[in-house]
Amino acid sequence: MTATIPVLRRAATVLTALAAVLLAGLALSAPASADVPEGWSEPPPVDGLEALLLLGGLPLLLVVVIMLAVYVPALARGERVAPGQATIENQWIGGPRKSTAELAAPDRDDSEAGGASARW
């Protein structure tokens, strides 16, 4: 019996808060039901299908255009775009094919081979 009193008290608090929020919402939405001021034209009614196409179709079309702009060039190059694809190995375009051991080592002090030739 004593365990139900806190539950009832909590339920009463939640219901009171919910009622206050609903009443505040009704009070704030009352100005939204005002008539069109005199001298203004009466706006034409909006068709439900037109509103759905405008509010749902345009964002969907934008998503499709962005997806095509991202995926079509990759597919045209022959790349796979599936998720979970194995990572591409490191590439050094025009560099050694196996490892850096293929680079020629400098054979004398003034040689340009073997890496960066920075001078101080």
Look at residue 56 in the predicted model and tell me its pLDDT: 93
User: Of 5-19, 40-54, 74-88, where does mean pLDDT reach its minimum?
Assistant: 74-88
Higher pLDDT, 66 or 38: 66
Largest CA distance in the chain: 96
Angle (nearest 5°) at CA 66 between 70 and 50: 160
Q: Is 8 a residue whose pLDDT tops 80?
A: yes
Cα dihedral 99, 102, 107, 113 in deg (nearest 10): -80
Residue type, 75: L
Residues across the chain: 120
Taking the whole predicted model, whether its pTM rises above 0.75 is answered as no
